[in-house]
Amino acid sequence: MTYGISINVNGTQHTNEVESRLLLSSYLRETLNLTGAHIGCDTTSCGACTVLLNGAAVKSCTLFAVQANGATVTTIEGLATNGELHPIQEGFWEKHGLQCGFCTPGMILSAYDLLQRNPNPTEQEIRHGLAGNLCRCTGYHNIVKAVQYAAEKMSS
C-alpha cells in the first residue's frame, strides 16, 4: 500500500508516494539521495541515522516515512548555512572529533539537539546527551571537546 507524503527536508518541500513500510532513513537516502544519515545497525543502537524531526534528534531507522508526513526534517546536509559550517561541524573539524566519519552526522545532529536544550552543558551532560550514538574509532574524548567548542562559539 502506498501513501502520499509531504515532508520539508532541509528547507525544501518534497511530495512523494511511498510504501507504508518505507523507513524514513531509506526515504532520505534512496528517494531524496541525501546519504548523510548512515544506516549502521537497523536496530536503533548506533545513532548513525540520526536526523532532526521538527527540531528534535530522532533515529530515522525507527520511523516510517509516513510518520514524518507534514514534518520538518533536517539532515547533516542541511545544517550548514550559505556554505558556512555550523559551529558544531566546525568543532568536529577543529577538535578532531572524527576519524572514519561514519558516526559523525548522527553525533553532530544529536549534539545540535543537546545544545538547543542546554546551551552550556557540562562534560558529563555532553556524554549523557550523546549516549545513544556509538563511535568505534575515537573514544569520544575529542567528540566531547568538539561539542564544548561549539557550545562556546554558539554562546558568543
Domain interval for residue 55: 2-77
Residues 109 and 131 in one domain: yes
Residues 72 and 9 in one domain: yes
Question: What is the predicted pLDDT for the residue at 122?
Answer: 98
Q: Which of 85, 150, 146 lies closest to 119, judged by CA?
A: 150
Please calculate the CA angle 57-72-44 and round it to the nearest 5 degrees.
35
Residues 6 and 60 in one domain: yes
Task: Read off the pLDDT of residues 62-121 as tens digits, 9 standing for 90 and up.
Answer: 999 999 999 999 999 999 999 999 999 999 999 999 999 999 999 999 999 999 999 999
Task: Read off the pLDDT of residues 12-39 as tens digits, 9 standing for 90 and up.
Answer: 999 999 999 999 999 999 999 999 999 9
Its pTM stands at: 0.95
Domain count, the chain: 2
Question: What is the predicted pLDDT for the residue at 75?
Answer: 98
Alpha-carbon span 121 to 119, nearest angstrom: 6
Residues 59 and 108 in one domain: no
Q: Does residue 42 surpass a pLDDT of 80?
A: no
Residues 123 and 143 in one domain: yes
Local confidence band at 43 (pLDDT 50, 70, 90 cut-offs)? confident
Q: Which of these three, 53, 77, 101, is where a domain ends?
A: 77
Sign of CA dihedral 65, 69, 73, 78: positive
CATH assignment at residue 65: 3.10.20.30
The reply to whether 82 falls in a domain is no
